[in-house]
């Protein structure tokens, strides 16, 4: 169990900037998605929140993967 905790902590340390951006994006998406679906469709708060939570969670996984891929690409040198 201690080894698992160390791996999780190392994952956090190695990915802290990406995880923070992903968390901020996800929370914002929860709020926006719930508001939009309630404004567009005649649904209850519970239905709106279900959609607002499930869909952004899947998007946040996609964003995390995309950000890791993007950050792994070599940056072009600026030539002056």
**Residue 14 covered by a domain:** no
**Residue 28 covered by a domain:** no
pLDDT of residue 24: 92
pLDDT of residue 77: 64
pLDDT of residue 80: 55
What is the model's pTM?
A: 0.54
* Domain range enclosing 48: 42-68
- The series of mean pLDDT values per 10 residues for the chain, 80 residues long, is 88 89 86 90 90 84 90 73
User: Which residues touch 52 (CB under 8 Å, ≥6 apart)?
Assistant: 29, 30, 31, 33, 34, 37
The count of structural domains within the chain is 1
Percent of the chain that is helix, strand, coil (3-state, to 5): 85, 0, 15
**Residue 52 covered by a domain:** yes
**Rg of the chain over all Cα atoms, to the nearest angstrom:** 18
CA angle 73, 20, 60 (to 5 degrees): 75
**Residue 22 covered by a domain:** no
């Amino acid at each position: 169990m201690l080894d698992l905790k160390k791996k999780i902590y190392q994952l956090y340390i190695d990915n802290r900037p990406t995880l923070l951006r992903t968390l901020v994006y996800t929370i914002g998406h929860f709020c926006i998605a719930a508001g939009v679906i309630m404004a567009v469709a005649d649904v209850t708060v519970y239905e709106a929140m279900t959609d607002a939570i499930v869909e952004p969670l899947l998007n946040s996984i996609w964003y995390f993967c995309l950000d890791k891929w993007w950050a792994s690409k070599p940056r072009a040198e600026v030539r002056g």
